[in-house]
Amino acid sequence: MREKEAVKMDCNKIKEYIYPFLDGQLDTQTSGLVKGHLSACPICSLELEQEKKLDSLVRSSIPKENAPYELKEEILKQIAGLGEKKFRRFISPVLKPALIGITGVVSIFVFLSSINRPFPVYSETVKEHIQFLQGSLPMHIASEKPRDVSKWLQAKLDFKIMVPDLSYQNVDLLGARICSLKNKKSAYITYKKDGHNISAFMFDAKNLKFPTAKKVTMNNKHFYLNKEKGFNSALWIDEGIACVFVSNLGEAELLYLASL
């Protein structure tokens, strides 16, 4: 009886079971059928051995270090979304060469996490703004002169920077720093108006997909407005550069300053 069942488990069928078989996820009966076919088919048996070596190589190439919590959380979400079987099928035929070493592994997760997902511009800029308010993000350059700050930033970045001069609106420039928004190098400029801090972020918007937000037009500029954790945000694109103002100022006042 076992021999007749084993014959039915052909090579195409084995490919569907080989990864669950490696992970010990098959029931006793199905596992027996797979073993029966492998014992009689040298081609499938060879493929199984290659997969075992690949798994072993990947495991041995990963440094034994604790990953940041955010990275762990993101990886788990992606794997859960794909499903174990679908995930293995995706990486095995297409990305096997990239799996040699930790760089390949990280590249896969970065690739998966970027597919059709908008750039988290609002949450990232609000997070930076809060950290600044808490005193954990010192300025790299402290100056009230927009020209000096623009010159300093331009030397650090590979895109055009022009620091807005809002002094005629009683907005004081405090300084600037270079920050990283989801590994995207950005300019971070800080202002203050009537006791309210304003954070201005500028970065290259090329090929970025932004989240859906309320759209408003003012002074011939198109703005995307959002509110998160009690802070208003105004985003607009100017010659390929994304600009974001974040503050606890009212939405209308923040929008007005951003439109100048």
CA-CA-CA-CA torsion sign (203, 208, 212, 214): positive
- Number of domains composing the chain: 2
Written as one letter, the residue type at 60 is S
Whether 88 and 134 map to the same domain: the answer is no
State whether 8 and 133 are in the same domain.
no
- Same domain as 133, residue 82: no
Q: Among residues of the chain, what percentage have pLDDT more than 90?
A: 49
Residues 178 and 136 in one domain: yes
Across 110-117, average pLDDT: 54
Residue 16: band (very low, low, confident or very high) from pLDDT cuts 50, 70, 90: confident
Q: Are residues 178 and 49 in the same domain?
A: no
Higher pLDDT, 121 or 90: 121
Among 60, 88, 114, which residue terminates a domain?
114
pLDDT at 17: 81
Q: How many residues does the chain have?
A: 260
Host domain of residue 27: 2-114
- Note whether 108 and 128 are same-domain residues: no
Q: Are 164 and 63 within one domain?
A: no
Query: How high is the pLDDT of residue 81?
Result: 58
The DSSP H or E segment spanning 185 is: strand 184-193
Q: Is there a contact between 99 and 56 (Cβ–Cβ < 8 Å)?
A: no
Q: How far apart are CA 155 and CA 173, in angstroms?
A: 19
Same domain, 161 and 245: yes
